A and B are shown apart, each in its own frame.
Chain A
Amino acid sequence: MKQIKTLTKASLKETKSKGGCGECQTSCQSACKTSCTVANQKCENI
């Protein structure tokens, strides 16, 4: 494509059926902890 560069196709939708196992870290978002943006958490199930 000339006018659009797709930087990631990472399809969230594909994770819908296989995700949710719950083995990954919890992700407190508050300022008093290692506040996390959930998107930088590692999946433990790939």
Chain B
Amino acid sequence: MIHQYTMFGLNIVLDVYSGAVHAVSDAVYEILLYLADETELPDTIPANVLNILSERYTKDELIEAYGEIYELHKQGLLLTDDEYKDLALNLPKKSVVKALCLHIAHDCNLRCSYCFADTGSFKGKRSLMSFETGKKAIDFVIENSEHRRNIEIDFFGGEPLINFKVVKQITEYAKEQGKLHDKNFRFTITTNGLLLNDEINDYINENMSNVVLSLDGRPQINDRVRRRVDGTGSYDTIVPKFKKLVESRGTKDYYIRGTFTANNLDFAQDVMHIVSLGFKQTSMEPVVVPDTEYYAILPEHLNKIYSEYERLAQIYIEKRQSGEPFNFFHFMIDLDQGPCVIKRLSGCGAGHEYLAITPDGDIYPCHQFVGDKNFYMGNVFDKTFDLSIKEKFEKSNVYTKPSCQDCFAKFYCSGGCCANAYHFNNDINKPYEMACAMERKRVECAIAIAAKLKLDE
């Protein structure tokens, strides 16, 4: 399977199953339009293709173009066949738990209108995780991670800083237990920043390998949605705090992560605003809410969003070429090296490798399933753990999702978000189409950026 498209004046061809990327002439591009479904090629150009294209290209040109296509095909870099299906459908079934999302607080000091967590409460009562629950969660992951050494703990909420004392206690406990059980714990935290101070910054810098800081961009955009309980905006308070934290972080990872909605389809402006504040590591995500919300992203917004991604991609290239540090999360694809194909086809790990733990110690497949009785998996106190739900998630991968079969982005996307699939289509194996459309565009942009940067080297 190949995917071909043009961007930045380049004809780009992605060979899906080998991962090879080529920049091709117009003649090659047009010949490939006729061969796209082939996996076996004749050694000379098919007569019908030669005839049709002779109107626009010389015969020599077409023969040369085909020769090159054929050569790459023989090398396994073009029009290659799917060799992963059997592997994917027979993956070793027993995966181990290696990452936890700890819901440190089912409460928040903001009331963002798009919050998937029902402004922090997760459709339940507002509550905080106790150290006791955290301990049990750490014990649980140690017991269930078998030989896996690297364990991730994400402190999530609601807003985790409203219960920071417990974040510290859990971190220290995990470090201590990690030494005893030969586990390498890595911690991350996601925060809205309101409660950051020097002491918290120091602790985060020392212990957290990544921190995700939520900011939507321009003041009016951020404050329209990310409001406090009293309705006032958060921008003026959080921006200086984020700056301070990031400056003190040195080379450690962070992301300024924003959400765009139908209110700011010109979100490249917001990314640029974030960059103008001095932040280099950015991410901007489409909001996911029911279509009935006034700021929901709808199919009629897609064209505008596509051109916005392209605009951002253009800026990304310019900044890269002028040596100005700037990262946009979704455009960072290393064409030469990336995860193995097994990782690429197996997705996020929700429900089997990655689990969410609530303040009460309840276990759910991930933060987006928390509170849904159908997905309750057990509890860290009584050590119940429903393996039938685990199995359902374990079995799901790009090859179990019908709509991913013909999708060129499958080894970059890995099958999308199961939670979105369930919430929109009632089935973890039916990806949410709007997210797919945007993901495909981002993958196209990312590959085109990498291609452009390589060619201009």
Contact = CB atoms under 8 A, between A and B. Distances in A.
A9 to B, nearest CB: 6
A29 B72 CA distance: 33
B171 interface: no
A11 B27 CA distance: 25
Given A3-B28, A8-B335, A19-B342, A26 B98 contact: yes
B116 A8 contact: no
Interface in B443-457: 443, 446, 450-451, 454-455
B341 A38 contact: no
A5 B337 contact: no
B30 to A, nearest CB: 11
A6 B150 contact: no
A20 B17 contact: no
B178 interface: no
Given A19-B340, A25-B152, A4 B25 contact: yes
Contacts of B330: 35, 37, 40
Interface stretch (B40-48, B304-312, B317-325, B416-424): B416-424
B148 A30 contact: no
A43 to B, nearest CB: 5
B16 to A, nearest CB: 9
Given A7-B455, A11-B20, A34 B212 contact: yes
Contacts of A5: 22-24, 455
Interface string A10-46: 1111011011101111111111111111111111111
A25 B367 CA distance: 17
Contact of B283 (A4, A34, A41, A45): A34
Nearest to B61: A3
Nearest to A18: B340
Contacts of A2: 25, 64, 68
B329 A34 contact: yes
A21 B342 CA distance: 9
B77 interface: yes
Nearest to A36: B329
A16 B455 contact: no
A35 B285 contact: yes
A34 B347 CA distance: 14
Sorting the interface of chain A by its residue count into under 10, 10 to 19, 20 to 34 or 35 or more gives 35 or more
B162 to A, nearest CB: 18
B366 A28 contact: yes
Given A11-B20, A29-B413, A39-B344, A3 B368 contact: no
Contacts of B286: 31
B316 interface: no
B24 A3 contact: yes
Contacts of B336: 8, 10
B414 interface: yes
Given A22-B96, A37-B439, A32 B368 contact: yes
B343 interface: yes
B329 A35 contact: yes
B349 interface: yes
Contacts of A42: 339
A32 B116 CA distance: 8
Contacts of A6: 20-22, 72, 77
A26 B354 contact: yes
B341 A19 contact: yes
Contacts of B69: 4
Interface string B340-368: 11111001111001100000000000111
A25 B98 CA distance: 9
B339 A43 contact: yes
Nearest to A43: B339
Interface in B232-254: none
Nearest to B258: A31
B231 to A, nearest CB: 22
Contact of A22 (B20, B27, B87, B98): B98
A37 B25 contact: no
Q: Residue among A18, A32, A45, A46 with the most chain B CB within 10 A?
A: A32
11 contacts: A3-B28, A7-B21, A7-B335, A13-B17, A13-B83, A22-B96, A24-B150, A30-B368, A34-B283, A36-B329, A38-B343
Given A2-B25, A39-B333, 9 more contacts: A15-B339, A22-B353, A23-B150, A26-B152, A27-B348, A27-B414, A37-B333, A39-B334, A41-B343
- The 5 tightest CB contacts between A and B, nearest first, are A19-B340, A20-B342, A15-B340, A31-B285, A12-B19
